[in-house]
Every structure is written in C-alpha cells, then in structure tokens.
Amino acid sequence: MSIDIAIAGFGTVGQGFAEMLALRQGMIREAFGTEARIVAAFDSSSAIYSEEGLDPMALVAAKAETGRVGDEPLVDGAAFLESIDYDVLVEVSPTDIVTGGAGLHHIRSALGAGRHVITVNKGPLALAFAELDTLAKENGAQMRFEGSVGGAMPIINLCRESLMGQEIGSVMGILNGTCNFILSRMDDGLPFEQALKEAQELGYAEADPGYDINGVDTACKVVILANSVFGIDCSYEDVDVTGITAISEEAVAMAAEQNYCIRLIGEISPERLEVSPRLVTKGHPLSVTGTLNVAQVNTDLAGPISISGRGAGRSETASAILSDLLAMMRSFVNNK
C-alpha cells in the first residue's frame, strides 16, 4: 500500500516538493512503513499519470528540459483529476485572488470526491474557505494549508494543534517578506523606489509588485488565519488594508529617532482584521529585518508566543507541504 499523490501545478513550488519527497522517501518508509508516491502531475498545458508511480526527479528534469511536465495535453485540470486514481492532491497552481482560478476548481473536485488536499494556494482559501472546509468535512477528507501563510513558518499548525486548549485573543505578524525587505532597506537610508528596485533585482519582488506593496498578499493571509484559527467567515473585502507605498524616508528617519521602525503588520482578532504600516519598537519580536516573516500569537494561558521563519522560497514552501503530508499520514496510521 502507498499514499498516491497528484500535483496540480508544477512550477517552482511543485518541483521543490517533488525534490523534497525524493529526498525524504527513506524517512517516510521508516516512519510509516509505506511510501508516498507521485502518480500524477500537471501544469498549465500538459499532464502525466501512471498508477505505478512516477520518478520525482525525472519529472523535474523533464520540466527543466521541455518546459512541460508530461506529454499528454491538458485541457481541464479538474476533469483530469476526475479521470485518475489518487489519495492526496497537492495544489500549487498560480494564485488568483479575484476568482480563485483553476486552483479553486481543482480543490473542489478533489474534496468532492473525498480526496485529501494540501495547498499553498491563497486564492481559493481567501475566497471560499468556509465552502471548502464544509466540503472536506462532508466527504471525510482532510484539507491542510500550512504553507499558504508564512511559508516555512508553521503558524497555522501552531495555532490549531500545538496551542489547542489555549484561547487565542489575537495574531499579529509580518506576513510578507517582500515588504519587510523594502522597509528594512529603508531603515538603512534607501528611498522607497530604490529599495523596491533592489527587491526586484534580487527576485524578492515581481516586475509588477502591487500584490505585495499594496498589502493584498498580507490581507489574503489575514483572511486565511481569521477563518482557520478564529472561525470567522470572512473574505478579502472584510479586511482594512493599507500598503507601504506612502511611507517616506522622512517617516522612517523620524521613527528611528524614537527607537522605532515601521513594519507592515497584519492583525487578526474577533474584533479586527487589518493590514497597515505600524510603529514597532526596535528589539520587539515584530521588528525583524530582511525577508523573514514573524508572528506573535497572544494566548490567555501561555501569554504571547512568537515564531518566525522564511516566508517564501522553493524549499521553504515545499517543507510546509511535506509537513502537512506527514501529518496526514500520521492520522491515517492512527485511524486504522
């Protein structure tokens, strides 16, 4: 017996997960007495399926050489998923926060068929979390999504599992590494435009950086945390959002004179869903620099608990997917 995986989306993160699965296959066999096999993968134009399993590294090599993951043309990802047999969908297709994109259709298809889902795709979760959560429960499926907020920083599983029994009053954090890099460089005296250009040259920001600098990415993560941690049925429109484009060199310098820095903070509580630049005391857990993400979880019994980690990247996000997969496999073993 094996756990059979279909990967929807075979870009940077999908390839990173395939590489990590190949790297950790021995550990998985030792821990669970079985293996986790990739049996299907597809990108925007091609697909491949084998009920005997696929070589993860061969998939990565094929994508690098041809730009395609398989030889079979892909017309409809959801229809492809309905035509094959698998246990877990790893959904890592491009994010679309307006409609949910193809990812929303993929996740609906999988959960509707009782397949388990692991995703890092913020669009479906930010737009339709309550629907997808209900669909999973109705069909006896698990939906895990650690990598959708904070990349390698395990904030969701911390709140939902490790802090079970605590009453969480709020979560506040830096949830976008691009903005944090820009603001950190402004601390060093760079103007906003120059700091942004440097972020783009280093690959931290896209050619069109609006999704990051206008606070949209952080707001999507606020919605995911609000739904999953606090049970608030909300969407992007419910978040009060202010980005970092209006922050001046003078404002950063004035903050520094008073021992503060400016950081883009997402706040989630039953009373407030907000993304905005805020003054943070230097030395505070939320004053981190560079591309790090950090969150402070305020609990009634344990007080404030802080956690940080890299918020994006091929291996970092893939590590969150692997963590969710292993948690699923543990539950399968325990429920036998």
- Show which residues are catalytic: 221
The secondary element (H helix, E strand) that includes residue 105 is helix 101-112
Task: Pick the closest to residue 129 from 157, 148, 151 (CA basis).
Answer: 148
CA distance 163 to 142: 20
How far apart CA 199 and CA 79 sit, in angstroms, is: 39
Q: How far is CA 111 from its chain centroid?
A: 19
Q: Is 266:274 a contact under the CB 8 Å cutoff?
A: yes
Of 319, 284, 311, the closest CA to residue 177 belongs to: 311
Determine whether 123 is exposed, middle or buried from the number of CB atoms within 10 Å of its CB (0-12, 13-18, 19+). Answer: buried
Q: Tell me if 332 sits within 8 A of 325, measured CB to CB.
A: no
Q: 215: phi > 0 → left, psi -120 to 50 → alpha, else beta; which? A: left
CA 101 and chain centroid, separation: 16
Residue whose pair of structure tokens reads 């400016």 in the numeric block: 262
CA 226 from chain center: how many Å?
15
Q: Tell the residue number behind the tokens 């939902």, with chain if given.
A: 160
Task: Please count the other Cβ atoms lying within 10 Å of the Cβ belonging to residue 167.
Answer: 9
Residue 323 in contact with residue 317, Cβ under 8 Å? no
Q: Are 7 and 40 in contact (CB under 8 A)?
A: yes
